[in-house]
Structures are given as structure tokens and as C-alpha cells.
């Protein structure tokens, strides 16, 4: 995405207590033409409903009788992610809830997986992201993880006073409306399509909205991170 670091061929860490930032980044990549694979602890239907993302989902669970695509081993996760990167020229893979894998398989085994996925991302020029709650790892473990993964410079929810007035206005509008499109934002604030795209991208970069394609329209929805501005 324009103005940001090159994400292709890289492996990145997203450190946050909640998931909104990671899924805002993931959603932004999908909107910008990436094919997405999400590896998550939450059921696929829940993720798709909450974040309005259109991506392949792999549910990390030990329950064999669950419906949908599931992965019960680190080998299964590696195989699926590698195959996805290989088949899709422009791909983004989000590994959500690393803490779950660590609790199930141990930190060393999970780091081996991350080393392998990081290599795969470089080979296939994919974007691989690992979402982790810092407090779920020891200081030493977090340091090891940060040695392998790059710091994502993009989305971060700033303090409310750091958000420009024009973005505050859009958040207020979205909070009081349903299924708002880019076109409706342009009409509401009397701004051009280009300006609308720039402002929505600004909200995406801060993890405050997610965008879902609906035919020719792009529907904008606030994330939980936007609550501090309402």
C-alpha cells in the first residue's frame, strides 16, 4: 500500500492485546488485491461476521468433529500456509492467537513453525503476519520472536487527540449509520473520490475500520478500536 513499507516477501509481528489492528491490516491487504488466508483460534464464521473479511479460513482446533477447514497440528498449519503462498502470486497470511499454539505445542516448536513460514514468505513473495499479545510471552520469548519478525510500521490506534478532525467526522458518521459506502462518504462530506479513498485509507492504517467489497461498492465498518473516538 502506498506510503507504507514493502510487505511482500516479509514476515511481520503485530503486538496488541486485541485483534482489531491485525484484522484491519489484513482487511486492507485484501482490499488492495491480496489473496488472504487467516489461521485463527476463533471459528471462521465468527471471524467473517465480526470483521467482514472475504478470505480462506483455517480454524486451529483439536475438535475433529467441527465443521469447516480445521488444523490440529503445526505440520498441518505449515502445509496449508505454504501451499497457499505457493498457489497465490500476491498472498497475505495472518497467524492469529500465537498464544494458543504456544500453550498447545510449546514455544520452541511454534518458533520452528514461524521460521519455516518466514522462509516461505520470502520464497513466494508473500506477506506473513503473526498477531501476538505481548503479555502471553516471557521477555526472552518475545525477544526471540522480534529477532525473526519485522515490526509492522503501519496501523496503530493513536490517542484520540492525535486523530485529525476530518477522520473524526467520518468515524462519527459511521457510528450512526449502517452499511456506509465510499460513495456515501463522498456525498456526505462533499469530497472527491480520491480524497475519500485517502481518508478511509488513513482509518485503515490506524486499525479503526475494515472495508468489505459488496459488488461495485466498498462498505466501511468501524472496528472495536474506534470506540475511543465516539
Superfamily of domain covering 10-151: P-loop containing nucleotide triphosphate hydrolases (3.40.50.300)
How far apart, in whole angstroms, are the C-alpha atoms of residue 175 and residue 226? 9
Q: What is the mean pLDDT of the chain?
A: 86
Please compute the mean of the pLDDT values over residues 211-222 and round it to a whole number.
88
Please determine, for residue 70, whether its predicted confidence score (pLDDT) is greater than 90.
Answer: no
Grid cell of 20 as nine digits: 482489531
**pLDDT score, position 12:** 93
How far apart, in whole angstroms, are the C-alpha atoms of residue 118 and residue 148? 8
Segment (H or E) for 129 = strand 127-132
Grid cell of 91 as nine digits: 498472498
Please tell us whether the domain made up of 160-224 is placed in CATH 3.90.1150.10. Answer: no
What ranges do the domains of the chain cover?
Answer: 10-151, 160-224
User: What 8-state DSSP symbol labels residue 91?
Assistant: E
pLDDT per position as a tens digit, 119-146: 999 999 999 999 998 999 999 999 999 9
Please determine, for residue 218, whether its predicted confidence score (pLDDT) is greater than 80.
Answer: yes
pLDDT per position as a tens digit, 142-187: 999 999 999 876 444 344 446 788 998 999 999 988 889 999 999 9
Lowest-pLDDT range, 37-51, 58-72, 82-96, 114-128? 58-72
The pLDDT confidence band at residue 33, using thresholds 50, 70 and 90, is confident
What pairs with residue 31 in β-bridges?
none
How far apart, in whole angstroms, are the C-alpha atoms of residue 74 and residue 161? 43
Please determine, for residue 114, whether its predicted confidence score (pLDDT) is greater than 80.
Answer: yes
The pLDDT confidence band at residue 230, using thresholds 50, 70 and 90, is low
Are the C-beta atoms of residues 13 and 152 closer than 8 Å to each other? yes
The CA R_g of the chain, rounded to the nearest whole Å, is 18
How far apart, in whole angstroms, are the C-alpha atoms of residue 123 and residue 105? 26
The CA-atom distances, in angstroms, between 68 and each of 45, 77, 135, 160 are 9, 15, 31, 39
Handedness of CA 46, 84, 128, 105 (dihedral sign): positive
Grid cell of 88 as nine digits: 497465490
Amino acid at each position: 500500500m502506498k506510503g507504507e513499507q514493502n510487505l511482500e516477501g516479509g514476515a511481520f509481528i503485530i503486538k496488541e492485546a486485541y485483534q482489531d489492528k491485525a484484522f484491519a491490516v489484513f482487511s486492507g491487504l485484501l482490499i488492495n488485491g491480496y489473496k488472504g488466508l487467516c489461521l485463527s483460534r476463533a471459528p471462521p464464521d465468527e471471524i467473517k461476521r465480526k470483521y467482514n473479511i472475504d478470505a480462506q479460513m483455517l480454524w486451529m482446533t483439536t475438535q475433529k468433529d467441527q465443521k469447516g477447514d480445521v488444523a490440529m497440528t503445526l505440520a498441518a498449519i505449515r502445509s496449508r500456509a505454504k501451499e497457499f503462498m505457493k498457489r497465490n502470486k500476491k498472498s497475505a497470511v495472518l497467524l492469529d492467537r500465537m498464544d494458543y499454539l504456544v500453550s498447545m505445542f510449546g514455544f520452541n516448536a511454534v518458533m520452528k513453525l514461524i521460521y519455516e513460514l518466514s522462509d516461505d514468505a520470502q520464497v513466494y513473495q508473500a506477506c506473513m503476519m503473526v498477531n501476538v499479545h505481548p503479555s502471553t510471552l516471557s521477555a526472552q520469548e518475545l525477544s526471540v520472536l522480534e529477532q525473526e519478525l519485522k515490526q509492522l510500521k503501519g496501523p496503530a490506534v493513536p490517542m484520540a487527540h492525535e486523530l485529525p478532525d476530518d477522520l473524526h467526522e467520518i468515524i462519527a458518521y459511521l457510528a450512526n449509520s449502517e452499511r456506509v459506502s465510499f460513495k456515501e462518504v463522498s456525498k456526505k462530506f462533499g469530497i472527491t473520490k480520491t480524497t475519500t479513498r485517502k481518508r478511509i485509507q488513513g482509518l485503515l492504517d490506524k486499525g479503526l475500520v475494515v472495508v468489505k467489497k459488496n459488488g461495485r461498492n466498498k462498505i466501511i465498518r468501524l472496528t472495536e478500536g474506534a470506540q475511543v473516538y465516539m
